[in-house]
C-alpha cells in the first residue's frame, strides 16, 4: 500500500473553540489509484492532504507512506520521506518567482541532496524530459511571471514528478485553470496514476471525470 | 542546481534588500578600516612632527652652540691678543711715592737709582717686555704765546731686556737738544717742527708733534733723560720705570709682576696704569658665559617643548583611539542590527517560498544554509567594498591633512602614499569580521525561517 490513512482526526483551536477538521477518517491508496475527494470549502480537504503529506501531524489515527509513519520520524527524515515518496501540486502553484522553469523543477532534486555530479546530471536530464513531456520545452528558461497559469501548473506538476514519487497529493490543481489547461493537467495526473497513486482534493466537477474513485467529504468525514 | 545558484538568483530578484545589507556591511567595515587607517595616519604624523621638531630644535641648538663656540674662540683669541699684544702698563715706583700726588697732578716726587733699570734688564723677568726709565716734573711754562701747565718727562727711550731678542721699541729715545711736544701744547703755543723753545732755562728744537691722545700726554713734553736729570738736578736718579706691554698668563697679573719685581728691586712698588683691555676681555668673558647659559636654557626649553609635543600627540592619539573604540563598535552593532532587520524582512517576504521548499522536502538546515550563504556573500562583498571605502576615505582625508598641515616629511608622505594602500592581513581580518557580523546578524532570522511550519504557510497561503 502506497498511502494508508487510518482513523485520522485533527482539530484546530479557533479562538477558544476546537474545530474538528478531520474526524476518524480512513483511506487507502495503492498503485493505479486516482482518488478524488470532493467537498465544499472548509470541509477539511486541505487538512486531509497536509496530514497525508506528513506536514500536519494528526491528533489521532495513523498515516503510513510506503509503510512508514512520517510522524514517527525526525523532522529531517520526514522531509526526506516527503522529497522521495511524495509530490505536491497546489492551486496557487507556489513556484519560486526568481527561478526559471527548469530551476523550479530542479528544486525538487535539491531536496534529495544529490551531491554527486552524475546524480545532478541525471536530475537535469529528467527535468528536461518532463518539461518537454508537459509541453514546456519552449519555456525552459522563462520565469514563472512570464508563463500562463496552465504553464505554471504544469511546471509545478513537473517539479512534483521529478523525484519519481509514489504518491501525488494535489490540492485543487485546476482551481485557477481554464477547462483546456485543467484537462491537460488532469490527463498528466491520470497518466502518473498508472504507476503510482494520486490523491486529489477538489470541488471541480471536471476533475472528478478523471478520477478512478471519488469520495465525498463533509465536516471532516468521508461520506 | 546548487544552493549558491538559488542564492544568487534570489539576490538578483531582490536587489534592494541585498544592496542595503551590502551597504550596511560596507559602512561598518569602512568605519573599522578607516579608523585603523586614521590611527596609523596619526601615528605616522606624530612621529613625523616629533622628528621634525627634534631636528629643528637640534639644529637651533647646534647653530647656537656653533655661534657660542665661535664667539668663545673669538673672545679667547681677542683676549690673548689684548693681553699679549697690547698688554697693560705698570709703573715701578719707589715705595715712598705719594700716589695721590701722582694721580691728581701727574707729578712724581720720589726718586730711585737709575741702576734699577740695568738690574731689571739683566734679570730674567718674563712678565715685562719693555723698560722705560723716566724723570718727570710739573711746571708753569711761559710759552711763546701763553702760560700753561706742562709735564716735562725725561726719557732715554727703551732699555733692551738682555735675555730676549730685541723687540721693536714702543717709544723712541729723544735726542739731546730736541723736544717732543704734546697736542694741547703745540696747538696753544702754535708750535711747528723745527721751532725753538726754552724750557727749564735751556733751548730745545721741536723734533716731533704728537697727535691728540686724549690723555695727560697731550699736556706733556719729552726731552732726553740725561738732559732732564741734569736740569732737574737728578743725576743717576729716576722717578719711575715704566714697564710696558706686560704679559701674564693669570688674571692676577699685577700680583704676579709684583712678586717678580719685589725679588729684583726691593724698596719699589708696582702700580697698574691701565686695565681697559682687560676690562673689555672680562666683559667679553662674561658675555660668553651669558651666551652659554642662554644656550643651556634654549636646550632645556627645546627638550621641554619636545616633551610637551610628545605628550600632546600621545593625548591626541588616545582621544582618537577612544573615539574609534566607541564609534567603531557602535557602527558594527548598528550594522548588525540593520542586517538582522533586513534579513528578517527577507524571511517574511519569502515565507511562502520557504513553506513550499519545506513541503517538497527541504530540511531545516538547507533553509538555514540559504540565508547564511547569502549573508556570507554579503559579508565578503561588503568587506571588499568597505575596505576600499575605508581606505579611500581615510586616504583622501589624510592626504588633505598632510597637505594642509606642516611640518611633514617626504618620507612620511611616501609611507602614507605607498605602503599602506593594501594590507592582505587587514583585508583578511575585515573579511572575517564582516562575514561574522553578517552571519551572526542573519543567524536568528535564518533559524526563524527554518522553523516555519510549512502546513501553516500552505494553509494560510
Dihedral Cα B200, B203, B208, B214, nearest 10 deg: 20
State mean pLDDT over B94-111. 82
- What pLDDT was estimated at residue B245? 58
Residue B365: closest C-alpha in chain A: A76
* B364 contacts A75? CB cut-off 8 A: yes
Nearest to A46 among B14, B359, B459 (CB): B459
Of all helices (H) and strands (E), which one includes residue A111? helix A101-111
Closest partner residue to A107 (CB to CB) among B352, B357, B363 is B357
CA angle (A186, A51, A195) in 5-degree steps: 40
Please identify among residues 12-31 of chain B the ones whose CB lies closer than 8 Å to any CB of chain A. Answer: 12-14
Taking the CA atoms of B242, B244, B246 and B251 in sequence, report the sign of the dihedral they define.
Answer: positive
Give mean pLDDT, residues B46-62: 80
| Residue B191: predicted pLDDT | 93
Number of neighbours of residue B199 by Cβ within 10 angstroms: 21
A145–chain B Cβ distance below 8 A for any pair:
no
pLDDT recorded at residue B125: 67
* pLDDT for the residue numbered B294: 78
Please report which helix (H) or strand (E) contains residue A197, including its range: strand A197-202
**Over residues A147-166, mean pLDDT:** 92
Of all residues in chain A, what percent carry a pLDDT higher than 90?
56
- Per residue in B343-393, pLDDT (tens digit) is 888 888 888 888 888 888 888 888 888 888 988 999 899 989 998 888 888
Interchain CB distance below 8 Å, B355 and A103? no
CB contact, 8 Å: A219 with chain B? no
Pairing relationship of beta strands A34-38 and B220-224 according to DSSP bridges? unpaired
pLDDT above 60: residue A191: yes
Instruction: Pick the more confident residue, B335 or A64.
Output: A64
- The Cα–Cα gap between A205 and A186 comes to 12
With a cut of 60, say whether residue B278 has pLDDT above it. Answer: no
Q: Which among A72, A79, A35 is positioned nearest to A53, based on CA atoms?
A: A79
- Could you tell me if B353 lies within 8 Å of chain A, comparing CB atoms? yes
**Minimal Cα–Cα distance from B374 to chain A, Å?**
15
Average pLDDT over residues B306-312: 82
Q: Do A103 and B366 touch (CB under 8 A)?
A: no
Average pLDDT, chain B: 80
Task: Look up the pTM and report it.
Answer: 0.62
**Chain B residues touching residue A159 (CB < 8 angstroms):** 360
Statement: residue B276 has pLDDT above 60:
no
What are B202-228's pLDDT values in tens digits? 999 999 998 888 888 889 999 999 999
Rounded-to-integer distance, Cα B445 and Cα B21, Å: 14
Contact B458 A90 (CB under 8 A): yes
**Separation CA B284–CA B79 (nearest Å):** 8
Partner residues linked to A65 by β-bridges: A3, A68
Cis ω before B295 (30° cut-off from 0): no
Q: How far is A174 from A203, CA to CA, in rounded Å?
A: 10
Q: Does B451 touch chain A (CB under 8 A)?
A: no
Q: Between chains, do A50 and B10 touch, taking CB under 8 Å as contact?
A: no
Mean pLDDT over A56-67 rounds to: 92
Question: What's the CA gap between B265 and B278, in Å, rounded?
Answer: 26
Of A84-93, A101-110, B65-74, B282-291, where does mean pLDDT reach its minimum? B282-291
Q: What percent of chain B has pLDDT over 70?
A: 81
Could you say which of A84, A98, A159 has the minimum Cβ distance to residue B10? A98
Q: Which of A94-108, B267-281, B286-300, B379-393 has the lowest mean pLDDT?
A: B267-281
Q: Which residues pair with A197 in a beta bridge?
A: A167
- CA dist., res. B211 & res. A167, Å (int): 144
Any idea what DSSP says for residue A43? S
Residue predicted with more confidence, B115 or B418 = B115
CB contact under 8 A, A82 and B359: yes
CA–CA dist A108, A127 (Å, integer): 10
Which of B117, B191, B193 has its CA nearest to residue B150? B191
- What is the pLDDT, as a whole number, of residue B85? 42
Query: Does residue A14 sit at the B interface (CB-CB below 8 Å)?
Result: no
Distance of CA B234 to the CA centre of its chain: 65
Contact present, B217 and B210 (Cβ < 8 Å): yes
CA max distance for chain B: 158
Q: Measuring CA to CA, which residue among A33, A56, A84 is closest to residue A199? A: A33
- A64 pLDDT band, cuts 50/70/90, is very high
Nearest CA-CA distance, residue A223 and chain B, Å: 23
- The number of angstroms, rounded, from the C-alpha of A184 to the middle of its chain's C-alpha atoms is 16
Cβ-based burial of B349 (10 A; exposed 0-12, middle 13-18, buried ≥19): middle
High-pLDDT (> 90) share of chain B, %: 19
* Maximum Cα interatomic distance, chain A, rounded to a whole number of Å: 54
How far is it, in rounded angstroms, from Cα B210 to Cα B203?
19
- Residue B172 or residue B333, greater confidence: B333
B294-319: average pLDDT: 81
Q: Is the pLDDT of residue B279 over 80?
A: no
pLDDT of residue B252: 61
In three state form, how does the secondary structure of chain B look? CCHHHHHHHHHHHCHHHHHHHHHHHHHHHHHHHHHHHHHHHHHHHHHHHHHHHHHHHHHHHHHHHHHHHHHHHHHHHHHHHHHHHHCEEEEEEECCCCHHHHHHHCCCCCCEECHHHHHHHHCCCCCCCEEEEEEEEEEEEECCCCEEEEEEEEECCCECCCCCCCCCCCCCCCCCCEEEECHHHHHHHCCCCCCEEEECCEEEEEEEECCCCCCHHHHEEEEEHHHHHHHHCCCCEECEEEEEEECCCCCCHHHHHHHHHHHHCCCEEEEECCCHHHHHHHHHHHHHHHHHHHHHHHHHHHHHHHHHHHHHHHHHHHHHHHHHHHHHHHHHHHHHHHHHHHHHHHHHHCHHHHHHHHHCCCCHHHHHHHHHHHHHHHHHHHHHHHHHHHHHHHHHHHHHHHHHCCCCCHHHHHHHHHHCCCCHHHHHHHHHHHHHHHHHHHHHHHHHHHCCCHHHHHHHC
Banded model confidence at residue B275, pLDDT cuts 50, 70, 90:
low
Please state, in angstroms and rounded to a whole number, the distance separating the CA atoms of residues B311 and A53. Answer: 75
Q: List Cβ neighbours of B450 (8 Å cut-off, separation of 6 or more).
A: B364, B365, B367, B368
Rounded-to-integer distance, Cα A166 and Cα A162, Å: 11
- Mean pLDDT, residues B111-137 taken together: 81
Minimum Cα–Cα distance from B362: chain A residue: A111
B176 has a pLDDT exceeding 50: yes
Confidence (pLDDT) at B171: 56
Distance in angstroms (rounded) separating the CA atoms of residues B103 and A30? 154
Residue A163: closest C-alpha in chain B:
B360
Taking 60 as the threshold, does the pLDDT of residue B253 lie above it?
yes
Distance CA A48, CA A53 (A): 8
Contacts of A120 in chain B (CB under 8 A): 1
- Cα separation, B37 vs B53, whole angstroms: 24
Q: What is the mean pLDDT of chain A?
A: 90
Q: Which helix (H) or strand (E) holds A199?
A: strand A197-202
A152: contact with B, CB 8 A cutoff = no
pLDDT > 70? residue A170: yes
CB contact under 8 A, B363 and A90: no
CA distances (Å), A190 to each of A25, A162, A199, B299, in order? Answer: 24, 16, 11, 104
Q: Say which residues have a Cβ less than 8 Å from residue B329's Cβ, sequence separation at least 6.
A: none
Is there a contact between B377 and B21 (Cβ–Cβ < 8 Å)? no
**pLDDT score of B181 more than 90:** yes
- C-alpha span between B10 and B18 (Å, rounded): 9
Inform me whether the C-beta atom of residue A76 falls under 8 Å from chain B C-beta atoms. yes
B363: closest chain A residue by CA: A76
Give Cβ neighbours of residue B40 (< 8 Å, ≥ 6 apart). B420
Task: Report yes or no: B454 at the A interface, CB cutoff 8 Å.
Answer: yes
- Residue B10, chain A, CB below 8 Å: the answer is yes
CB within 8 Å: B353 and A97: yes
Show Cβ contacts of residue B30 under 8 Å, excluding neighbours closer than 6 positions: B385, B386, B387, B389, B390, B393
At residue A16, the 3 state secondary structure works out as coil
Contacts of A172 in chain B (CB under 8 A): none
pLDDT at A201: 92
* A133-142, B157-166, B196-205, B214-223: range with lowest mean pLDDT: B157-166
CA geometry: angle at B198 spanning B196 and B202, to 5°? 110
The helix (H) or strand (E) run that includes residue A89 is strand A86-90
State the pLDDT confidence band at B168, using cuts at 50, 70 and 90: very low
Q: Are the C-beta atoms of B147 and B141 separated by less than 8 Å?
A: yes
**If you average pLDDT over residues B453-460, what whole number do you get?**
80
d(CA B9, CA B1): 11
- Minimal CA–CA distance to B80: which of B257, B248, B279, B244? B248
Interface predicted TM-score of the whole assembly (ipTM), two decimals? 0.90
Cβ contacts of B280 within 8 Å, gap of 6 or more: B82
Confidence bin at B84 (pLDDT 50/70/90): very low
Mean pLDDT, rounded, for A95-105 = 93
Amino acid at each position: 500500500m502506497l498511502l494508508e490513512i487510518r482513523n485520522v482526526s485533527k482539530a484546530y483551536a479557533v479562538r477558544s473553540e476546537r474545530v474538528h477538521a478531520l474526524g476518524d477518517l480512513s483511506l487507502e491508496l495503492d498503485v493505479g489509484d486516482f482518488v478524488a475527494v470532493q467537498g465544499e470549502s472548509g470541509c477539511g480537504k486541505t487538512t486531509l492532504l497536509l496530514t497525508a503529506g506528513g506536514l500536519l501531524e494528526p491528533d489521532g489515527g495513523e498515516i503510513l507512506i510506503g509503510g512508514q509513519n512520517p510522524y514517527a520520524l525526525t523532522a529531517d527524515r520526514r522531509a526526506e520521506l516527503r522529497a522521495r515518496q511524495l509530490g505536491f501540486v497546489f492551486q496557487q502553484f507556489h513556484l519560486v518567482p526568481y527561478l526559471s522553469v527548469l530551476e523550479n523543477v530542479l528544486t525538487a532534486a535539491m531536496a534529495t541532496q544529490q551531491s554527486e555530479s552524475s546524480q545532478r546530471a541525471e536530475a537535469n536530464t529528467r527535468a528536461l524530459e518532463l518539461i518537454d513531456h508537459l509541453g514546456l520545452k519552449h519555456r525552459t528558461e522563462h520565469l514563472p511571471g512570464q508563463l500562463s497559469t496552465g504553464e505554471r501548473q504544469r511546471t509545478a506538476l513537473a517539479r512534483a514528478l521529478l523525484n519519481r514519487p509514489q504518491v501525488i497529493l494535489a490540492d485543487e490543481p485546476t482551481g485557477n485553470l481554464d477547462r483546456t489547461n485543467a484537462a491537460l493537467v488532469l490527463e498528466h495526473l491520470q497518466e502518473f496514476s498508472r504507476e503510482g497513486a494520486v490523491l486529489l482534493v477538489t470541488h471541480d466537477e471536471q476533475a472528478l471525470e478523471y478520477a478512478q474513485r471519488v469520495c465525498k467529504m463533509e465536516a471532516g468525514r468521508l461520506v | 542546481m546548487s544552493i549558491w545558484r538559488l542564492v544568487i538568483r534570489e539576490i538578483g530578484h531582490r536587489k534592494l534588500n541585498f544592496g542595503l545589507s551590502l551597504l550596511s556591511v560596507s559602512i561598518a567595515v569602512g568605519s573599522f578600516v578607516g579608523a585603523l587607517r586614521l590611527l596609523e595616519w596619526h601615528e605616522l604624523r606624530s612621529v613625523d612632527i616629533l622628528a621634525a621638531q627634534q631636528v629643528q630644535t637640534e639644529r637651533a641648538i647646534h647653530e647656537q652652540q656653533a655661534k657660542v663656540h665661535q664667539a668663545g674662540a673669538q673672545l679667547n683669541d681677542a683676549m690673548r691678543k689684548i693681553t699679549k699684544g697690547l698688554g697693560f702698563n705698570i709703573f715701578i715706583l719707589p715705595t715712598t711715592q705719594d700716589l695721590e700726588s701722582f694721580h691728581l697732578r701727574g707729578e712724581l716726587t720720589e726718586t730711585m737709582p737709575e741702576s734699577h733699570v740695568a738690574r731689571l734688564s739683566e734679570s730674567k723677568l718674563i712678565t715685562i717686555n719693555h723698560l722705560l726709565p723716566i724723570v718727570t716734573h710739573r711746571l708753569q711754562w711761559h710759552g711763546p704765546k701763553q702760560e700753561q701747565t706742562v709735564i716735562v718727562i725725561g726719557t732715554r727711550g727703551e732699555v733692551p731686556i738682555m735675555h730676549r731678542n730685541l723687540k721693536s721699541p714702543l717709544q723712541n729715545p729723544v735726542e739731546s737738544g730736541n723736544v717732543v711736544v704734546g697736542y694741547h701744547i703745540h696747538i696753544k703755543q702754535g708750535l711747528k717742527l723745527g721751532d725753538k723753545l726754552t724750557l727749564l732755562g735751556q733751548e730745545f728744537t721741536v723734533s716731533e708733534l704728537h697727535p691728540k691722545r686724549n690723555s695727560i700726554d697731550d699736556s706733556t713734553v719729552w726731552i732726553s733723560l740725561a738732559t732732564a736729570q741734569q736740569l732737574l738736578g737728578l743725576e743717576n736718579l729716576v722717578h719711575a720705570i715704566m714697564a710696558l706691554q706686560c704679559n701674564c698668563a693669570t688674571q692676577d697679573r699685577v700680583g704676579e709682576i709684583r712678586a717678580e719685581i719685589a725679588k729684583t728691586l726691593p724698596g719699589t712698588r708696582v702700580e697698574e696704569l691701565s686695565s681697559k683691555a682687560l676690562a673689555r676681555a672680562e666683559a667679553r668673558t662674561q658675555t660668553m658665559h651669558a651666551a652659554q647659559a642662554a644656550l643651556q636654557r634654549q636646550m632645556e626649553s627645546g627638550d621641554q617643548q619636545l616633551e610637551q609635543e610628545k605628550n600632546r600627540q600621545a593625548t591626541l592619539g588616545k582621544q582618537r583611539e577612544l573615539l574609534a573604540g566607541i564609534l567603531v563598535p557602535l557602527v558594527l552593532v548598528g550594522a548588525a542590527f540593520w542586517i538582522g532587520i533586513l534579513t528578517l524582512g527577507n524571511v517574511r517576504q519569502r515565507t511562502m517560498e520557504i513553506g513550499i521548499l519545506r513541503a517538497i522536502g527541504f530540511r531545516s538546515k538547507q533553509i538555514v544554509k540559504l540565508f547564511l550563504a547569502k549573508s556570507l556573500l554579503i559579508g565578503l562583498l561588503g568587506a571588499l567594498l568597505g575596505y576600499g571605502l575605508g581606505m579611500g576615505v581615510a586616504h583622501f582625508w589624510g592626504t588633505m591633512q598632510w597637505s594642509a598641515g606642516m611640518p611633514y616629511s617626504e618620507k612620511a608622505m611616501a609611507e602614507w602614499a605607498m605602503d599602506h594602500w593594501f594590507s592582505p592581513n587587514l583585508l583578511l581580518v575585515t573579511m572575517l569580521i564582516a562575514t561574522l557580523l553578517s552571519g551572526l546578524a542573519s543567524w536568528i532570522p535564518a533559524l526563524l525561517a527554518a522553523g516555519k511550519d510549512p502546513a501553516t504557510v500552505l494553509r494560510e497561503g
